[in-house]
């Protein structure tokens, strides 16, 4: 059973989407304008409006404050006003939330995706985070640094590797079958 996302996590994901679309820090006025105008985000707009009617807009500001306090957002001054952008910690959190909500599909050609990595000890934290992502993506451990998955998660895995800046330590293989002797 998947855990329900909190209001703060949903706001973080929406701010991340805004930054991806416009490539600029997110101000509250442009954020509201964007939600109002972009048809892809109408469900979020109606969800936010219903939420505001029940609990008021104060929770939005509280959520943004919590995101800043926890180190996921930082403020940048822009010509439109104060804008928020994601820190590296925030980007990792967004990626983790997206992967948690990702619906895995099996590879259509019934192949396995194999990941082999050798991440140095000085990057232990990144190695542990990478293992968490592998687990969330449905990988199973064959050996300490060899993991396999029957799912079609290559794009998501590439995004994780790029975000953690680990590309020189990791190799991907597409394997037709896994066998035992």
Q: What average pLDDT score do residues 53-59 get?
A: 70
Q: Among 81, 99, 117, which residue terminates a domain?
A: 99
Q: Are 176 and 111 in contact (CB under 8 A)?
A: yes
Q: Which of 69, 97, 64 is nearest to 82 (CA)?
A: 64
Residue 42 has pLDDT above 50, yes or no: yes
Number of folded domains that form the chain: 2
Tens of pLDDT, residues 139-177: 888 888 899 988 888 888 888 888 888 889 999 988 887
Tens of pLDDT, residues 91-138: 888 877 777 777 778 878 888 889 999 999 998 888 888 888 888 888
pLDDT at position 1 is 42
Q: Answer yes or no: do 158 and 121 share one domain.
A: yes
| Residues spanned by the domain of 113 | 105-175
Q: Answer yes or no: do 42 and 125 share one domain.
A: no
Please classify residue 149 by burial: count the beta carbons closer than 10 Å to its beta carbon, then call 0-12 exposed, 13-18 middle and 19+ buried. buried
């Amino acid at each position: 059973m998947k855990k329900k996302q909190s209001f703060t996590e949903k706001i973080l994901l929406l701010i991340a989407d805004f930054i991806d679309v416009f490539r600029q820090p997110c101000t509250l006025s442009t954020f509201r304008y964007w939600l109002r105008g972009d048809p892809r985000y109408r469900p979020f707009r109606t969800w936010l409006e219903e939420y505001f009617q029940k609990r008021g807009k104060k929770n939005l500001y509280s959520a943004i404050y919590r995101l800043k306090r926890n180190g996921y957002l930082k403020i940048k001054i822009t010509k439109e006003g104060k804008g928020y952008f994601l820190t590296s910690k925030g980007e990792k959190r967004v990626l983790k939330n997206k992967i948690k909500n990702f619906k895995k599909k099996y590879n259509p050609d019934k192949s396995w995706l194999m990941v082999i990595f050798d991440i140095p000890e000085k990057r232990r934290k990144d190695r542990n985070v990478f293992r968490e992502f592998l687990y969330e993506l449905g990988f199973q451990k064959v050996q300490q640094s060899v993991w396999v998955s029957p799912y079609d998660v290559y794009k998501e895995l590439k995004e994780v590797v790029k975000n953690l800046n680990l590309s020189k330590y990791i190799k991907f293989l597409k394997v037709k079958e896994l066998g035992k002797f």
